[in-house]
Amino acid sequence: MYPPKAESKVASNVINLDLPPAERWTSLAKEKAPQIKDMLVEVKAFVGAFGNGSIIALVDKYLAPLADTLPYPFADELKGIAKATDIPLGEVVLFNVFYEFFTVCTSIVAEDPTGKLFHARNLDFGLFLGWDIKNNTWALTEKLRPIVVNLDWQRGGKTVFKSVNFAGYVGLLTAVKPQTFTYSMNERFSADGGYIGLIEWILGSRDISWMGFLTRDTLENATSFTEAETWLANRTLLAPAYFILGGTKSGEGAIITRSREEALDIKRLDPANGRWFLLQTNYDNWENPPFIDDRRTPGDNCMANMSKSNTDLPHIFDVLSSKPVLNKLTTYTALMQVDEGHLESFLQECPDPCIPW
């Protein structure tokens, strides 16, 4: 499968961290404004389906004022995006809130026989957000692909980190800090989920971290794999999550399983005992995944068949392009290598026959 068609490769843009926060996204936001507005039609249709009196309706009422409660620099960045796109601020906040709750993904960290580390992921998004019976696609997933962008976050003209983002989303789901660590986030389903944390934030709790904002802080400021692991394992979160990290040395790979309050488990690479890769979907590693969404077992089998001796980004791309790891929700596949600060991503589509998730 690698390399995929040239037209599927995602273009890169620069985010200049030396600019005032309200101006950092102006150029990209203006360029992608029509596609962002088109995508928001699907998001608002989902929100509206809950009706008056629901939690979503309550959240929607407070979305624009919510921006002023966010930590620096995120409030100003969202306001700048709203101004550049001529989209109401509440809708821009809604766009950023959604990624705390609806990201369904597969992430892989693996090392080759020399100890070189590779990190890759599928970003699956749009579950339950409008199934198009005619085309066998998820409506929101189709609208998201046109706004996938690679970002080179720079300060003083030099790269601080790189990420794959949906244009207009200011948090981080996939990123690499060159010569330091790689990162991806998968959603963790929990009864004590993000909605509860969001309500607590609206009601005034400020001792919890938004996942996307915590990871921005981590990529900007953490100076090692160990420091990044400590930050992501110990901060109180608005929503539960899986944080997947890769480092620069043999054995530096971890899946951090998070409740909102603490790390429940940290599973690490252990190449000396045969654990040369980690693969995480959306279920705790000590539990069996449900039969209706078992991407873990075929993913593990593909990695084992690939073997450690063949570990590289093209082969891992093939694993992530294999059904059902690849499914109708998959928007992109990202490939990262920490030593060179390498990041490339490709839009993905799953041809029929293909499962919805």
Catalytic residues: 105
Residues in CB range of 206: below 8 A, 6 or more apart: 69
Cβ neighbours of 233 (radius 10 Å): 17
Cβ neighbours of 248 (radius 10 Å): 17
Task: Provide the pairing of β-strand 181-187 with 174-177.
Answer: antiparallel
Residues in CB range of 150: below 8 A, 6 or more apart: 10, 11, 12, 13, 162, 163, 164, 165, 343, 344, 345
CA distance 157 to 310: 36
103-111, strands of its sheet edge to edge: 277-280, 103-111, 117-125, 330-337, 342-347
Q: At what angle do helices 225-234 and 211-221 cross, to 10 degrees?
A: 160
- Over the range 282-320, which residues count as b (16 or more CB within 10 Å of their CB) and which as e? bbbeeeeeeeebebbeebeebbeebeeeebebebbbebb
Task: Say which amino acid occupies 353.
Answer: P
Q: Which residues pair with 40 in a beta bridge?
A: none
